[in-house]
Amino acid sequence: MSAEITQANIEKNIHENISIGINLSLIGGFLDAYSFILMGGVFANAQTGNLVLLFISCVNGEIDKILKYSIPIIMYALGILFSEILKYHWKNKNNSRIKIILIFEAILMICIALAGKQVSNSIINCIISFLAAVQVSNFDKINGVPIATTMITGNLRSSMINISKYFFTKDNSYKESFFTYIIVIISFGIGVSLGSILANLIGTYSILICITFIFTAFLLINKEETKKLTTAST
């Protein structure tokens, strides 16, 4: 029984560490800049932008652009569905699931870099959209606070809600949540800046820098896991 309790404690919320969230937000921002600059002006992470562009294309009768904007939306939806299936089958093994997701992201990024310009922008955008959906679905909290690492609209809204609640209640938990959102938003912006610079400098291979962020997140999860295991055994 104690072994089961120990394992449950180890599995709980390790991936919600703020340091892991920062690395994933860097990836989220990087991928948005990467897809927009190198893959034909498509927002692979933020599907709202693609939906707007899709319906503008429909109204203007630009049939050739309808698939360009609709396929990333479909792939994003499939990425969410895929993630929910994973969560259901791995619901008691969060650490294993999260590690597999990180490895999966790294493999997809390597494939994108190697594909270069030999594969159409549409296919690359589909892969990035799927990848972004998997990330946002599996890494959806930091320290118990609902958060997104691939876009900022919801984070910006939540940050303002939390800081207003802090002003009214003086509850420090709201202030802490506010700063968590701000850190993630800034990290996303840094990722965008880095993606913009490197995409223009070295092209499609620039996505490989994201492997560094994934590796860091992987190490942080292992570190937290080891810390909890040590604590539980003492």
Query: Which residue's structure tokens are 């390597």?
Result: 110
DSSP run (H or E) holding 146: strand 145-146
Write the CB contacts of 225 (distance below 8 Å, at least 6 apart in sequence).
Answer: 10, 14, 95
In this predicted model, what pLDDT tens digit does every residue of 43-84 receive, in sequence order? 777 788 788 888 998 999 888 888 878 888 899 999 999 989
Q: What is the pLDDT of residues 103-149, one digit of tens each?
A: 999 999 999 999 877 888 888 888 998 999 999 888 888 888 888 88
Tokens 């506010």, located at residue: 178
Find the radius of gyration of the CA atoms of the chain: 19
**Residue range 190-205: mean pLDDT, rounded:** 94
Q: How confident is the model at residue 95 (pLDDT cuts 50, 70, 90)?
A: confident
How far is the C-alpha of 198 from the C-alpha of 102, rounded, in Å?
22
Closest C-alpha to 132, from 194, 78, 202, 52: 78
Which pLDDT band holds residue 96 (cuts at 50, 70, 90)?
confident
Where does the pLDDT of residue 3 fall: very low under 50, low under 70, confident under 90, or very high at 90 and above? Answer: very low
216 to each of 127, 151, 179, how far by Cα in Å?
Answer: 22, 21, 22
Other beta carbons within 10 angstroms of residue 92's beta carbon come to 11
Question: What digits encode the pLDDT tens for the residues 32-46?
Answer: 899 889 988 777 777
Phi, psi torsion values for 146, nearest 5 degrees: -60, 130
- Give the per-residue pLDDT at 14: 64
The C-alpha atoms of residue 93 and residue 86 are separated, in whole angstroms, by 10
Q: Is 45 helix (H, G, I), strand (E, B) or coil?
A: coil
